[in-house]
A and B are shown apart, each in its own frame.
Chain A
Amino acid sequence: GTLTHGLRSQVSAALKEGRVTPTELCQRCLALIKSTKFLNAYITVAEETALKQAEESEDRYKKGQPLGILDGIPIAVKDNFNTAGIETTCASNMLKGYISPYNATVVQKLLDQGAVLLGKTNLDEFAMGSGSTDGVFGPVRNPWSYSRQYKEKSVPKSHSEDKEFNWVITGGSSGGSAAAVSSFTCFAAIGSDTGGSTRNPAAHCGVVGLKPTYGLISRHGLIPLVNSMDVPGILTRCVDDAAVLLGSLAGHDPKDSTTVQDNFKPFDLPDLTDVSKLSIGIPKEYRAPGLSSEILALWSKAADLFKNAGAKVVEVSLPHTRYSIVCYHVLCTAEVASNMARFDGLEYGHRSDTKESTESMYAATRREGFNDVVRGRILSGNYFLLKQNYEKYFVKAQKVRRLIANDFVEVFRSGVDILLTPTTLSDAAPYLEFIREDNRTRSAQDDILTQAANMAGLPAINVPTALSERGLPVGLQFIGRSFQEQQLLTVAKWFEKQVQFPTIELEEVKRHDNGVFQHQKSASFS
């Protein structure tokens, strides 16, 4: 589709007008990836194939026949999506060296529209985690750790010590994708979101993170964490771009029986000026324990923003919110135990050298292939699925899940259009501080504000809002009604315009910037 609105000095227009070529764009991104290698955002950089794709895109532009707005646009994909011919590892020893024979549907759609696949981004192993710190390729560093904004706020002990020890996490599990977008090494990235894995790192990295409604975008080719909650996530530098990506990815996929049958119509986002007809809900239970006073204040300020603009802002209640962590834990681990059962070393992936028996081969393979986090969840999940426990835990959790989902139904039925909540409890923690607590504890804490939307299957989006006192991004979350992404993104876009979130000031980006990564509010491609 054609996007007729938006600032004309954008990349897509630049490509069309020949002011920049896909190859130049691709090369600059690749160069920037190299000089930001310390971020560890990418597991695999597909340099050769990306340049080839850029070349082909260039041919099309020369002929005046671009495939669409995404043609020639460099994109990164989280490494839990299958990409044919390019390694897919899930940041796990189990799949190190695994080359999938097929493309995930979202990947195929991007390629079919001419996007340039730069590489696969880093994550927590098998998407289990909220820091992007627990993958076999090491943790991802938040680009803002190296920003002028953060550096000038932090107290340096010495210049080099600063850089090494005080770097902050990206959040997770789609940290690599968030960091890639945040550091300008790509124009958009695909993540996944099961309990907040796209929105959380988006908040910490100061980018837009969209979790679409469950069933809107195909999961075929996304290596599952929790089949009933997973969605592909979209990370971009502005809300308009998220709408473009959504438009190119949404729709029924016969290969995924959980996608809805209805025809999806890509939409443009109107420039909302009048919010007086809008009703914004503020769920009181999201004033969670551990929520920083800074974020609380920001949330309040945002609510006032809407109120002052004429919107109706009401406090609402989602009473079952406090059960969501435990409910999520039971359902998530149960599905993990099931989904990981296929990793036995027989058909693909890591296989242990043990030759005593098939059983011992399975055991050794899985011990060697999975990290502690994965194994811990498998054990828990199997426990909950035991015959004697099934009713008490799994079925009970399903019932609680229904209650949590109903909370949202009730609130939306009462006239609220959109919910406004914080996305995270605080700004990004320094890595050394973050790893002092174990993965399970961290996940339980960090997911509280995001996971209910996964339980209910609702669309939700993080919009970067302001910088914290430490100079790090803080975002706020909007949650919408099922399949009402257009409304959700319209409101998000309005809010984005009001807050004017600052652009990250990174040395490396400045060096590579020839005017393409422009100093505007957000270097978007739409």
Chain B
Amino acid sequence: LAPWVPVVGLEIHAQISSNSKLFSGSQVQFAAPPNSLVSFFDASLPGTLPVLNRRCVEAAVMTGLALNCSINKKSLFDRKHYFYADLPAGYQITQQRVPIAVNGSLSYSLCIDSKMSQMVTKTVRIKQIQLEQDSGKSLHDDTRSQTLVDLNRAGVGLMEVVMEPDMCCGEEAAAAVRELQLILQTLGSSQAVMAEGQLRVDANVSVHRPGEPYGVRTEVKNINSIRFLAKAVDYEIQRQIEELENGGTILNETRAFDSKLGCTVPMRDKEGKQDYRFMPEPNLPPLILYDAKSLPANMNHQQVINIDWIHERLPDLPSVKREKLVEQYGILPEHSFALLNEDGLAEFFESVVKQTQMKPKKVIGWILNHLLSYLKQYSLTVKESPISSFLLADLLNLLEKKEISSTAAKQVLAELWKGEGKTPLEIVKEQKLELLQDQKELEQICQAVIDGQENEVIMMVPG
């Protein structure tokens, strides 16, 4: 019997990095006192109207361009209706009919083996990117039988990125999301920190036999990290395979990932078969974007959004940055991935390279094998590193000039890590780690050693 073919698609909600919300002027801020960032519109006070935030549109256009999408020059807003405590208006404003961007692609890389020595590039199609409102937060207090509602998040701008079911396992899903995260952070369109809810991922998983139509899919929610994403997807694939092999069926349901148990469980059916009764949002005219060709003569880029203007100002995307690093420094592709994977590490590396004579190919080893492992061990970011690029470069220079050995350098590094403000040279002198270059001095030491070990020497000589 042919093996099962797992199919994984993703729906990703990225919170837009902006000062104010998508349709109102209240601030966007993480962990503010409850209900302190709520405008009249966010609270759905009767008579209030949405006003589109330009920055949010720009963020979506940037993201669409970075993901090779077609940007729709005319997109529309819709209302999606359902009742829930965290949705004050009883509907969410989203883009269901015509979203702002469609038909893009995202390339990501995977390691073939665990040693990160061979990478393969994959692509996932981006179905669309749509602008929509985030909901507030509701907390259920079962002891007091009440629900607490915080509307700070209600109305914050989101980009929903829909990835087609081109992925086949947890690892691919994780790698794709990781790459998306890096892209968003590079663009600045979203800070995309999963732990702060700025990036939320729902996975759609199904399995089928080769040649047969796609199986029933389940939606997996409540995934709080990229690591858990891989786990959740793999678990769900396995669960479905086992279920089907035992003669069972897969229900088209929503399941939550339980990170403690490492499994997915059916979610409490809060909505049933929802009919969202989509309707055009009557208070927002169609969103019109321009490019260099269609821009009316009397308008400048401040009055309207010019897609080409934005395109020209896009920063280097991670894939481009990696290529440049490989080309410029002769490092391996895997190295470039590792550099970009850690915030600030690539800049740190480049800074060290500038300040040392050691070849980049050698520097990279020190960065990735030593500095990075220290950072990981102590859960520090590059910014928080007690060793600055200057200090590291200084140390590597000593090594390069053969004033110390590699082993000694590691010792110095350990000492530098303490962050006591000593320079590498000071530590070397303190611990007498200098390499001796003087031939005579070396001979004297060797002789002294040999003299002290007469018996051993006698035993060695005949051979």
Judge whether A376 is part of the interface by a CB distance below 8 angstroms.
no
Residues of A within 8 A of B285 (CB): 257-258
A521 CA to B278 CA, complexed, in Å:
51
B193: interface (CB < 8 Å): no
The answer to whether B147 and A358 have CB atoms under 8 Å apart is yes
Asked if B45 lies at the interface with its beta carbon under 8 angstroms from chain A, I say yes
Complex contact B47–A221 (CB within 8 A): yes
**Other-chain residue from A255, A340, A355, A390 in contact with B49 (beta carbon distance below 8 A):** A255
Q: Which of A100, A257, A337 contacts B277 (CB 8 A)?
A: A337
Residue contact B279 to A344, C-beta cutoff 8 Å: no
In the complex, which residues 359-411 of chain A have their Cβ closer than 8 Å to any Cβ of chain B?
A: 359, 362, 382, 385-387, 390, 394
Query: Is B149 interfacial (CB-CB < 8 Å)?
Result: yes
Q: Indicate if B40 sits at the interface (CB-CB under 8 A).
A: yes
B49 to chain A, nearest CB (A): 5
Tell whether A95 is near chain B: CB-to-CB under 8 Å: yes
Interface set, chain B 221-263, CB cutoff 8 A to A: none
A338 to B283, CA, bound (A): 12
Query: Any chain B CB within 8 A of the CB of A115?
Result: no
At the interface, is chain B mostly helix, strand, loop or mixed? loop
Instruction: Give which listed residue, B277, B282, B283, contacts A386 with CB less than 8 A.
Output: B277
> Quick one: which of A211-233 are within 8 Å of B by CB?
219-224, 226-228
- The answer to the question of A104 belonging to the interface, with a C-beta cut-off of 8 Å to chain B, is yes
A326 close to chain B: CB less than 8 A: no
Assess the B45–A257 pair: CB atoms within 8 A.
no
**Interface membership of A82, Cβ < 8 A:** yes
Pair A102/B40 contact, Cβ less than 8 Å = yes
B52 at the interface (CB under 8 A from A): yes
A226, A256, A348: the one within 8 Å of B45 (CB): A348
Do B43 and A347 have beta carbons less than 8 Å apart? yes
A362 to B149, CA, bound (A): 15
Please determine whether B89 and A385 come into contact, CB atoms closer than 8 angstroms.
no
Chain B residues with Cβ under 8 A from A255's Cβ?
49, 51
The residue among B52, B88, B145 with the most chain A CB atoms within 10 A of its own CB is B88
Question: How many angstroms between the C-alpha atoms of A221 and B45 in the bound complex?
Answer: 9
| Residue count of chain A within 8 Å CB distance of chain B | 45
Shortest A244–chain B CB gap in Å is 25
Complex alpha-carbon distance, A90 and B52, angstroms: 28
The reply to whether the CB of A499 lies closer than 8 angstroms to some CB of chain B is: no
Of B46, B47, B81, B279, most A-chain CB atoms within 10 Å? B46
Q: Which residues of B have CB within 8 Å of A318?
A: none
1/0 contact string of B66-87 vs chain A (CB within 8 Å): 0000000000000101010100
Set of chain B residues within 8 Å of A335, measured between Cβ atoms: 279, 282
The answer to whether B46 touches A342 (Cβ under 8 A) is yes
Cα distance A227–B285 in the bound complex, in angstroms: 12
A335 to B89, CA, bound (A): 13
Contact with A along B45-68 (1 / 0, CB 8 A): 111111110000000000000000
Q: Is A334 an interface residue (CB 8 A)?
A: yes
Give the nearest-CB partner of B145 in chain A.
A355
Report the separation of the CA atoms of residues A226 and B48 in the bound assembly, to the nearest whole angstrom: 14
Count chain A CB atoms within 10 A of each CB in B43, B44, B282 and give the residue with the most: B282
Q: In the complex, are the beta carbons of A257 and B43 less than 8 A apart?
A: no
Q: Please, how many angstroms separate the alpha-carbon atoms of A86 and B97 in the complex? A: 40
Say how far A28's CB is from chain B's closest CB, in angstroms: 31
| A347 adjacent to B278 (CB under 8 Å) | no
Chain A residues contacting B46 (CB-CB under 8 Å) are 82, 88, 90, 95, 100, 223-224, 342-343, 348
- The distance from the CB of A507 to the nearest CB of chain B, in whole angstroms, is 38
A359: B residues at CB distance < 8 A:
83
Given A228-B282, A386-B277, also A82-B47 (CB < 8 A) = yes
| A342 lies within 8 A of B275 (CB) | no
Question: B91 interface residue, CB < 8 Å from A?
Answer: yes
Tell whether, in the assembled complex, residue B91 and residue A341 are in contact, meaning their CB atoms are under 8 Å apart: yes
Distance A91 CA – B279 CA, assembled complex (angstroms): 27
Whole-angstrom CA separation of A223 from B283 in the bound complex: 13
- Among residues of A, the one whose C-beta sits closest to the C-beta of B82 is A341
Given A220-B49, A257-B52, A347-B88, does the pair A342, B44 have CB atoms closer than 8 Å?
A: yes
Interface residues of A (CB under 8 A from B): 81-82, 88, 90, 95, 100-102, 104, 219-224, 226-228, 254-258, 334-335, 337-338, 340-344, 346-348, 355, 358-359, 362, 382, 385-387, 390, 394
19 additional contacts (CB under 8 A) given A342-B88, A355-B145: A81-B47, A88-B46, A95-B46, A100-B45, A102-B40, A219-B49, A221-B47, A227-B282, A256-B283, A258-B49, A258-B282, A258-B283, A337-B277, A338-B81, A338-B91, A344-B88, A347-B43, A348-B43, A387-B277
Chain B residues with a Cβ under 8 A of chain A:
40, 43-52, 79, 81, 83, 85, 88-91, 145, 147, 149, 275, 277-279, 282-285
A-B contacts, 26 of them at CB < 8 A, read A81-B47, A82-B47, A88-B46, A95-B46, A104-B47, A224-B46, A224-B47, A228-B282, A254-B51, A255-B49, A256-B283, A338-B277, A342-B88, A342-B90, A344-B83, A344-B88, A346-B149, A347-B88, A348-B43, A362-B83, A385-B81, A385-B277, A385-B278, A385-B279, A387-B275, A390-B277
